[in-house]
Amino acid sequence: MFTLKTRKFFEDTSLSIKYILKWSVLAVMIGVIVGMASVIFKSSLNLGTRLLASLTETHLVYILPIIGLFMSGLITSTFASEAAGPGADAIIKAYNENWGKADIIVVPIRLISSVFTIVFGGSAGMEDPAVHMGGGIASFVGDKLNLKLTDIQKITICGMSAAFGSIFTVPLAGGVFGPEIIYRDDLDYDNLFISFISSITAYFVYAIMLGQTRIFNFPVPLEYTFVPTRDILLFIVVGVIVGLTSLLFIKILHGYEHFSEGLSLPPYFKTALGGVLVGVTALIISPYILGSGLSLLELITIEGKFTTQMLFLMIIGKIVATSFTLGSGASGGVVVPSLVVGGLTGAFLAQVFNFPYPIALISAGSVGVLGSAAHIPISMTLMAAEVFGMELIKPATIVCFIGTWIARNDTIYQESYVSRIESLKAPHCYDNFEDK
């Protein structure tokens, strides 16, 4: 009896060691590859931004989105329609319905079309496209290594986490992002370990090759200290407002997407129309709403030079411009615009409540809108700590979870499933996957 127990112990230990070694090697490999892909993507964006820098300082800044979105729509409609719109939805759908398998041709098409969208002033970010590319690259590697379909699913999660963790320079949040984003009310705990390995590896590759260890180049004010008697009730109220803001964002984005799909026009004309509307919105409100908006987030965090009325208008303007951009089918991401909308909301509320530490509201609002809209409160809480500092994780936690509860019945990522149970019931392209 003792011998049988001992044998089983050693067999189980051997299997565990083999599993850990196998997935550690695979996760590190994916982290290195996706980290380098993130470097190429970011470098392409930096190059495009420098080439168009002189034009963005003229009145042509209102015309550029038309050109960029037209080219984005033309490229995706010609070569890979899956590369249109926000990128995370496509890879989430592949994970839940196709065992994570994605067409590798989408990766370069997503990169090129997203560069046109963002560099030319479309209101979109780089993280969703990066997540799509990361998942697509990982899926391709898994397929070439002849991994079984369930393992391709796991390695796809690694690619998504690696992309988010590297391009956002948040390795801890990136490690949770992949397992959290695919479900609205659940978390893929089985893949947390390998996701962290891939995200941290990709972050190191990205940081070493680009010399960039954090997404913001400006110093974050650190004078804030969380005082429970002063702050808990305040941030509960902020969480409710942030949740409602995220719901407004979701409804307008999907509303314009539905409207655009109903137009009897070629895809590139739809995106060009979106570019026209983006330019008009910027002309009416402010050119600050163009592009990803990271520079705007820097302005409100460091300088705080905008009036209360202007902040409110830019909240609406950024939501509408992002909806016109991504709802039209242009390739890009919703992550950075969500952060900017949340940051603007926090800055607006800091002035309304006359709060002495605007950075606390800006940081909590920033991660709160994205956490609520995408149902990823854990990732965003960690991101608040990595980007803004540990002291700001407390208000961010309150806002993220309250906001997510407010927006619990809707999500900006329509392809995410409610839970793992619902995903298991979904129709997959390979029903008998053991035969693969």
Q: Please state the rounded mean pLDDT for residues 68-79.
A: 92
Domain membership of residue 217 (yes or no) is no
Shared domain check, 286 and 206: no
Please check whether residues 112 and 247 belong to one and the same domain: no
Looking at the domain assignment, is residue 319 inside a domain?
A: yes
Q: The tokens of 396 are what?
A: 């961010």
Q: Are residues 245 and 205 part of one domain?
A: no
* Cα 152 to Cα 149: distance, rounded to the nearest angstrom: 5
The pLDDT of 334-340, averaged and rounded, is: 90
Q: Which secondary structure element, helix H or strand E, spans residue 97, and what is its range?
A: helix 87-97
Query: Is the pLDDT assigned to residue 303 strictly greater than 80?
Result: no
Identify whether 131 is part of a domain. Answer: yes
In the predicted model, is pLDDT for residue 355 greater than 80? yes
- DSSP code per residue over 279-330: HHHHHHS-GGGSSS-HHHHHIIIII----HHHHHHHHHHHHHHHHHHHHTT-
Q: Worst-scoring range by mean pLDDT, 35-44, 76-85, 305-314, 375-384?
A: 76-85
**Percent of the residues in the chain that have a pLDDT greater than 90, as a whole number:** 51
Amino acid in the structure at residue 132? H
- On whether residue 298 sits in a domain, the answer given is yes
Given pLDDT bands bounded at 50, 70 and 90, which one contains residue 218? low
Q: What is the mean pLDDT of residues 206-224?
A: 77
Is residue 136 located within the same domain as residue 235?
Answer: no
For tokens 């590759």, the residue is: 205
pLDDT at 16: 84
Contacts of 20-23 with CB under 8 Å at 24 or more apart are 23/154, 23/193, 23/194, 23/197
The structure's pTM equals 0.89
Which domain does 42 fall in, by range?
8-210
Mean pLDDT computed over every residue of the chain:
87
179 and 153, same structural domain?
yes
Of 99 and 357, the structure prediction assigns the larger pLDDT to 357
398 phi and psi angles, rounded to 5 deg: -60, -50
Distance of alpha carbon 41 from alpha carbon 237, whole angstroms: 38
What is the pLDDT at residue 237?
95
| pLDDT of amino acid 255 | 94
Quickly tell me which residue has 């961010």 as its tokens.
Answer: 396
Distances (CA, A) of 396 to 157, 247, 367: 25, 18, 7
Residues 6+ apart with CB under 8 A from 277: 324
CA separation for the pair 260, 267 (Å, rounded): 9
Residues 345, 245: contact at Cβ < 8 Å?
yes
210, 236, 262 — which closes off a domain? 210
Q: Determine the Cα–Cα distance for residues 308 and 311; give it in Å rounded to an integer.
A: 5
Q: Which of 139, 180, 185, 179 is nearest to 159 (CA)?
A: 139
Considering the domain boundaries, does residue 427 fall inside one? Answer: no
Q: Are residues 265 and 397 in the same domain?
A: yes
Q: Which helix (H) or strand (E) holds 131?
A: helix 127-144
Statement to judge: residues 46 and 172 lie in one domain: yes
Which CATH number characterizes residue 15's domain? 1.10.3080.10
Q: What are phi and psi of 333, to 5 degrees?
A: -125, 155
Q: CA-CA distance, 404 to 432, in Å (whole number)?
A: 36
* Residues 388-392: contacts with CB under 8 Å, at least 24 apart: 388/220, 388/359, 388/363, 389/220, 389/222, 391/222, 391/224, 391/225, 391/226, 392/224, 392/359, 392/360, 392/363, 392/364
Place 365 in a pLDDT band, splitting at 50, 70 and 90. very high
* Lowest pLDDT segment from 37-51, 114-128, 255-269, 406-420: 406-420
88 contacts 413 by C-beta, under 8 angstroms = yes
- Determine the Cα–Cα distance for residues 356 and 365; give it in Å rounded to an integer: 16
The yes-or-no verdict on residue 253 having pLDDT over 80 is yes
431: buried, middle or exposed (CB in 10 Å: 19+, 13-18, 0-12)? exposed
313 neighbors 356 (Cβ within 8 angstroms):
no
pLDDT in tens, 161-200: 999 999 989 999 999 998 888 887 777 788 889 999 999 9
Q: Residue 104 falls within a domain, yes or no? A: yes
Let me know whether 306 and 364 are in one domain. Answer: yes
Residue 433: pLDDT above 60? no
Look at residue 214 in the predicted model and tell me its pLDDT. Answer: 75
**Does residue 420 lie within any of the structural domains?**
no
Residues 147 and 25 in one domain: yes
Do 173 and 250 share a domain, yes or no?
Answer: no
pLDDT of 427 strictly over 70: no
Please tell me the total count of domains within the chain.
2
Domain-located, residue 419: no
237 and 200 in one domain?
Answer: no
Q: Please give the backbone phi and psi of residue 417, each rounded to the nearest 5 degrees, phi first.
A: -95, 160
Same structural domain for residues 138 and 49?
Answer: yes
Residue 256 pLDDT grade (very low, low, confident, very high; cuts 50, 70, 90): very high
